[in-house]
Amino acid sequence: MPEINKNIPHDSACTHVTGESVYIDDMPFQSNELVVDFLGSPFANCQILSLNLDDALVVPGIVALYTYKDLDGINKFGPILQDEVLLCEDHCSFIGEPIVVIAAESRLALAQAKKAIKLEVKELQPILTIDDAKQANQFIDRTYSIGRGDCAKAFAEAANVIEGTLKINGQDHFYLESQAAIVYPGEQNQLTVYSSSQNPSEVQQVLALVLGLQQNQVTVIVKRLGGGFGGKECQATHPAAMAALVALKTKRPARIVYSKDDDMMFTGKRHPFQNDYKVAFNDDGVITALSARLFADGGAANDLSTAVLGRALTHIDNAYFIENVDVKGQICRTNFPPTTAFRGFGGPQGVVTMENIIEEIAAFLNIDAFDVRRRNCYGLTERNVTHYGQLITNNTLPRLFDELCESSDYRERARAVADFNAKSKTHLRGISLQPVKFGISFTNKFLNQANALVNVYLDGTVQVSTGACEMGQGVNTNIKQLVADEFQIDPRQVIVMATSTEKSNNTSPTAASAATDLNGSAAVDACMKIKANMASSFAAYLSREKGFSKAAAENVVFKDGMLFDPRFASFEMSFREAVGVAYRDRQSLGERGYYATKGIDFDWLSGKGHPFLYFTNGCACAEVLIDRFTGQLKIERLDVLFDAGKQINPGINRGQVIGAMVQGIGWVTTEELRYGAAGNLLSHSPTTYKIPNIHDIPAVFNVNFIDNGANTANVRSTKAVGEPPLLLGISVWTAAKHALSFVSSDEIPVLDLPATNEQILSRLTAYEAICERAAAPQRLRKAQARI
């Protein structure tokens, strides 16, 4: 009765559909509960001159107002560098940065108090672009670099060289449940915190730090999140801390729930990047050298920017072996909310830079971009070491390339695209087959650990507690299946409990696509301990009660809900009965499991190491249609081939691949963050910020997986699928760039990200004006010659 590689429903599927799933703001109000909000900075950069709360304190329904002076702990924190404050002291670094925490009996009172607070500030000149930060020498932390070979020599001897700059915009997480927390005060200044967080232990640690408590006084519970995508890895600490301050001071429950507008305006986004690159290559398109300078917009504080930049630097190679590499990166400090984790975590910004380079090499040489990709692809026995020194094992990239090229009929469709573009005066087509190689593990080594608690009860049912947070991705279902498979029982006998720092201590965030890898492995470890105890008791029972004197624990088999010793096949016992035997034998039926990823390490001083346990690979082929008169982009077809190893739950994996790709498509096409001149976000609602909808999804969308059980490094030979598929959405952007190459007389079209309809139209207008003066028909004939 194997319970992996099997479709079972998501553990919350029924309650989601019926509306029974409980999120933070669904929890019933207590009779004495307070609602919490804050007054934030009105400017992106300003000095606080005076603050008067007197009028606000007398607003009916206002219970308390708090500033940084009311914090009994340290008003300075951060997951890597401690450079953030909970409440502004004398200076504000971004619009909406909290200054005053407001506790009230009603939301009406909150709104009135905000208006009554008298705040006088001096507006200062903000830094709102990467270029401005570079000019002002405003950087966070140091310059990071990775290199190998001799780039200077390779460029001097190069047959061809291209250089340019790629501008990559940010992205809003747009989770359905906004940042939210409820805090219940208890005895001896203990706090019980319900938080919509991907990182309950960090919430616990930050609350204890800023409030002057011990960590054992703070218990954080996470039942589920209404989406996270990285936006609640670190930034869920801020609302939880403000509610906790109120609960601690007033001894009343306190609830904070951001509005969608406030959440979008005042929380961090995906990092914008501005990447300068220079690449050398031969006449066949084989890359001989890459030099790149990556500049990330970190916002006003570091948050996770150093780790995000690190992943961008380790993923700029994507699927390609490059002999000579010199890549460096810096984080620019600007006056926006601190940018933070987002699905892909720097990997997308590195990968899209390389895929942009591939398209430009193909346009320069007038050859098919697929051939450039395939010629540079990492090999199986040679050309298989990354620029940071990690050997790529179990490399399925060549297989994915070749199989998807054939199954998607890429060659024939590419010829049809060229023929269409030579004839159509109203539309353009583009096609691109793009790979991804995504490293799985936290790049900070100490985060690659997890613990779990498994309790088996006398009726044969099981409760599992881990540090993983369920945010819709199905991690609880995966863990349920792993535990059921280990005990060989029906998954319906297993419940995965809400994540709690009381049961799972010092947890790593649910991020980096590693939640199932880490927490599932820890749960399996706990199960193995319980199985050993049960096997010992069962063997003793066979010897004592059945006269099988040679029965031994090491021979006991768990299979199909039964226990037996194959040498005495005439007798078997149900799992439930065996639990009773172990209990009466005074054996532990509740055990803690622990897992730490082995064999990973990285040294940023040398830029060398083995930061990833393995790589998840995939390929996507996208075909797009562009209206020459409006710039409208339509995806006509998507084909995806993915390596997820030996899958725990194929249905959940398919949902993750599709969902991630759609989110990636949004990032590269429609999700444009527009800011005013003062740094204020203008696109802060569903009416002004366009995430993909059903009309943006192609009618033909094929998703398939290869059969690969060779990933022995990970639990049950599985591979992570949370983040890697998002990067395959880049194929839509490269297809758009390919389409523009048919009208660009300078051979290499420039396309920033996202490729909105407006940007595409502006590029078309500019290129076609140039082409009219430069005899464009010859360009179209050259384009046809690529195929």
- 89 is a catalytic site residue: no
| Exposure b/e, 61-73, CB count within 10 A at least 16 = b | bbbbbbbbebbeb
Tell me if residue 14 falls in helix, strand or coil: helix
Tell me if residue 103 falls in helix, strand or coil: strand
Determine the Cα–Cα distance for residues 780 and 278; give it in Å rounded to an integer.
27
Comparing CA positions, the residue from 772, 703, 740, 702 lying closest to residue 625 is 740
Q: Beta-strand (E) ranges in 348-466?
A: 427-440, 449-456, 462-466
The count of other CB atoms within 10 Å of the CB of residue 170 is 21
Comparing CA positions, the residue from 60, 45, 46 lying closest to residue 116 is 60
- What is the arrangement of strands in the sheet containing 562-564, beginning at the earlier edge strand? 557-559, 562-564, 572-574
Helices and strands per DSSP (H, E), number in the chain: 21, 29
Are 386 and 327 contacting, i.e. CB atoms less than 8 angstroms apart? Answer: no
Helices 305-315, 347-365: crossing angle, 10 deg rounding? 30
Q: Which of 554, 723, 758, 768 is catalytic?
A: 723
Residue 433 pairs in a beta bridge with 621
Comparing CA positions, the residue from 750, 783, 779 lying closest to residue 766 is 750
Q: Is the omega angle on the peptide bond into residue 398 within 30 degrees of 0, that is, cis?
A: no
Residue listed under structure tokens 């002057």: 212
Determine the Cα–Cα distance for residues 414 and 406; give it in Å rounded to an integer.
12
Are 750 and 763 contacting, i.e. CB atoms less than 8 angstroms apart? Answer: yes
Comparing CA positions, the residue from 185, 174, 203, 291 lying closest to residue 667 is 174
Determine the Cα–Cα distance for residues 475 and 468; give it in Å rounded to an integer.
7
Comparing CA positions, the residue from 653, 617, 652, 620 lying closest to residue 439 is 617
Residue 294 pairs in a beta bridge with 275, 329
Are 301 and 338 contacting, i.e. CB atoms less than 8 angstroms apart? Answer: yes
Residue listed under structure tokens 């590419």: 414
Are 260 and 235 contacting, i.e. CB atoms less than 8 angstroms apart? Answer: no
Q: Beta-strand (E) ranges in 41-190?
A: 46-52, 62-66, 91-92, 98-104, 118-123, 139-148, 160-168, 180-185
Comparing CA positions, the residue from 371, 273, 386, 368 lying closest to residue 319 is 386
Query: What sign does the dihedral 749-754-760-763 (CA atoms) show?
Result: negative
Long-range contacts of 189-192 (CB under 8 A, 24+ apart): 189/213, 189/217, 189/248, 190/217, 190/218, 190/219, 191/217, 191/218, 191/219, 191/244, 191/247, 191/248, 192/219, 192/221
Are 197 and 39 contacting, i.e. CB atoms less than 8 angstroms apart? Answer: no
Are 161 and 361 contacting, i.e. CB atoms less than 8 angstroms apart? Answer: no
Residue 109 pairs in a beta bridge with none
| Exposure b/e, 424-452, CB count within 10 A at least 16 = b | eeeebbbbbbbbbbbbbbbbbeebbbbbb
For residues 485, 395, 753, 96, the Cα torsion angle rounded to the nearest 10 degrees is 40
Q: Just list the catalytic residues.
A: 723
